């Protein structure tokens, strides 16, 4: 899955140029799409990377391109950057979010393939993984014509089946809280084993000491969610950006393959 991890050293700073942001709690200033961030250096590296949170760019610390940056920079455009070939800039910036979505789908499919409980679904998962993987190698014009929403829907159908199979290991009556509005919810010490929290809003929720084992967290909004002492062992479809947006501590148990955020106390 290394190709699905961001490698900024092989990217042309695409997330720092292609994407817009607005002055808010996440960003210190406004920036229009297609305009380089004022902190982007000539070598395409961030000039404030080691102090993003300290100077008001928390939003940058919770973003992940899932390796789309280096894919577009080095494969799609063959290592020719948008400064050297400015005529490709607009197209490159439009292609980047398309490939980013495809890489995100690949990341979820790879995780689903690695889940022992989903062994019976692996033939379908492998076929879909191969199909989506081929799309990432298309030429820019073809990438821009893709119906990404249709691909997401196709992948989501199989990921839902995967979730049902995995969570079936935990026998309980109420397991579906998809899309639930749990902003600021008091869930300290809650037993959420095997619950689907797909797309749930958990902004600033208190999940201190909660049991989130075998919980489906795909798309859950964990911004400022308190995860101190929580057990996320075996939680699946959880990404690094989601963890980075939350507030945990040294006692928080996280799934294998993810990294404890540096800002957690």
CATH topology of domain 171-265: Pectate Lyase C-like (2.160.20)
> Longest Cα pair distance anywhere in the chain, in angstroms?
59
DSSP 175: -
Predicted local distance difference test score (pLDDT) of residue 237: 98
**Which residue from 173, 211, 172, 175 is spatially nearest to 191, judged by alpha carbons?**
211
Predicted local distance difference test score (pLDDT) of residue 169: 87
**Which residue from 152, 163, 162, 204 is spatially nearest to 182, judged by alpha carbons?**
204
Q: How many CB atoms lie within 10 A of CB 41?
A: 14
CA angle 235, 115, 3 (to 5 degrees): 90
Segments in the chain below pLDDT 50: 1
3-state secondary structure of 222: coil
Domain boundaries, the chain: 2-167, 171-265
Predicted local distance difference test score (pLDDT) of residue 262: 87
Predicted local distance difference test score (pLDDT) of residue 1: 46
Helices of type H across the chain: 58-61, 68-70, 89-114, 122-135, 140-145, 148-167, 240-245
What are the tens digits of pLDDT across the range 79-137? 999 999 999 999 999 999 999 999 999 999 999 999 999 999 999 999 999 999 999 99
Predicted local distance difference test score (pLDDT) of residue 2: 77
Residue 182: exposure state from Cβ atoms within 10 A (0-12, 13-18, ≥19): buried
Predicted local distance difference test score (pLDDT) of residue 206: 98
Predicted local distance difference test score (pLDDT) of residue 174: 65
């Amino acid at each position: 899955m290394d190709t699905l991890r961001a490698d900024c050293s092989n990217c042309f700073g695409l997330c720092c140029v292609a994407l817009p942001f607005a002055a808010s709690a996440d960003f210190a200033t406004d920036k229009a799409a297609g305009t380089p961030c004022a902190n982007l250096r000539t070598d395409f590296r961030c000039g404030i990377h080691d102090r993003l949170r300290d100077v008001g760019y928390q939003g940058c610390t919770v973003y992940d391109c899932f390796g789309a940056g280096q894919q577009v920079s080095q494969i799609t455009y063959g290592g020719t950057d948008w400064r050297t070939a400015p005529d490709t800039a607009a197209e490159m910036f439009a292609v980047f979010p398309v490939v980013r979505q495809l890489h995100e789908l690949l990341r979820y499919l790879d995780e689903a393939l690695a889940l022992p409980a989903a062994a019976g679904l692996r033939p379908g998962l492998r076929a879909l993984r191969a199909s989506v993987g081929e799309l990432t190698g298309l030429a820019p014009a073809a990438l821009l014509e893709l119906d990404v929403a249709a691909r997401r829907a196709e992948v989501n159908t199989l990921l839902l089946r995967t979730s049902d199979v995995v969570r079936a290991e935990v026998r309980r009556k109420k397991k579906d809280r998809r899309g639930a509005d749990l902003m600021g919810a008091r869930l300290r010490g809650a037993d959420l084993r095997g619950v689907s929290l797909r797309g749930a809003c958990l902004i600033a929720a208190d999940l201190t000491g909660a049991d989130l084992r075998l919980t489906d967290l795909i798309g859950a909004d964990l911004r400022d969610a308190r995860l101190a002492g929580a057990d996320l062992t075996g939680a699946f479809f959880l990404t690094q950006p989601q963890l980075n947006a939350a507030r945990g501590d040294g006692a928080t148990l996280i799934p294998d393959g993810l990294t404890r955020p540096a800002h957690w106390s």
